[in-house]
Amino acid sequence: MRVLIVYASWFGHNREVARIIADRLSPYASHVVCAPVTSVTASDTIGCDLLVLGSFTHAHHASWRMRHLVETIPERRLRRIAIAVFGTQTIDERPSGIDDLVSALAERGVRLVVPPLRVILSAPDFVPWSKITSAERAKIDAFAQALVRQLETEMISQ
C-alpha cells in the first residue's frame, strides 16, 4: 500500500499534523510519503492507494496550491484512490479551508473515505504551536486509526 500525505502549512501546524498521521500509518503501509504541497505534482499520485490532503484556512479557503493539485489530478485516478482531508481552523471559521477542499474534491466526483479532521487552533491562529493539546492529539489519533482501518480493508479486498 502506497500512502501520500500532502500538506499546506504556513506556520507548521499542518506539517506537524501530517507527520503524526504519517507516523501512525507507517506500520500499516509499505510506503508512506509526507510532503509539502509545494513539492508535489499530480504525477506523484500515480500508484497511490491513499491520498491524505491537509490545508490551512485563509479567508475561508484552502491553500490555492492544494486546490490546484486537486484540479490537476486526472478524474479517473482520483476515483481509484482513497482520499481523506484534514486541516486547521479557528473555532469560528465556517466555511473553512477544509470545507473548501472537500467541495473541490466533490466537484471532481470524489467521496472521502473518512470524515474530515478539523484541528482547532486557539486564536490567534497564526502563532506557531508550542504543543498540540491533548484533545486535538486525540482527534488526530482517531483520524489516523480510521485511515488504518481503511488501509486494512483495502488490503483484504486485494
Q: What does the pLDDT look like over 9-39, one tens digit per residue?
A: 988 889 999 999 999 999 999 999 999 999 9
96 vs 19, 50, 87, CA distance in Å?
Answer: 22, 23, 9
Mean pLDDT of 138-144: 96
Beta bridge partners of 119: 88
Average pLDDT, the chain: 89
Phi, psi of 95 (to 5 degrees): -70, 160
- Around Cβ 89, how many Cβ atoms within 10 Å? 23
What does pTM read for this prediction? 0.92
Summarize pLDDT for 101-135 with one digit per residue, the tens: 999 999 999 999 999 999 988 766 556 655 677 88
pLDDT band at 40 (very low <50, low <70, confident <90, very high): very high
Pairwise CA distance, residues 117 & 86, whole Å: 4
Mean pLDDT of 68-95: 90
Q: With pLDDT > 90 as the criterion, what percentage of the chain qualifies?
A: 68
Pairwise CA distance, residues 12 & 30, whole Å: 26
- Around Cβ 134, how many Cβ atoms within 10 Å? 8
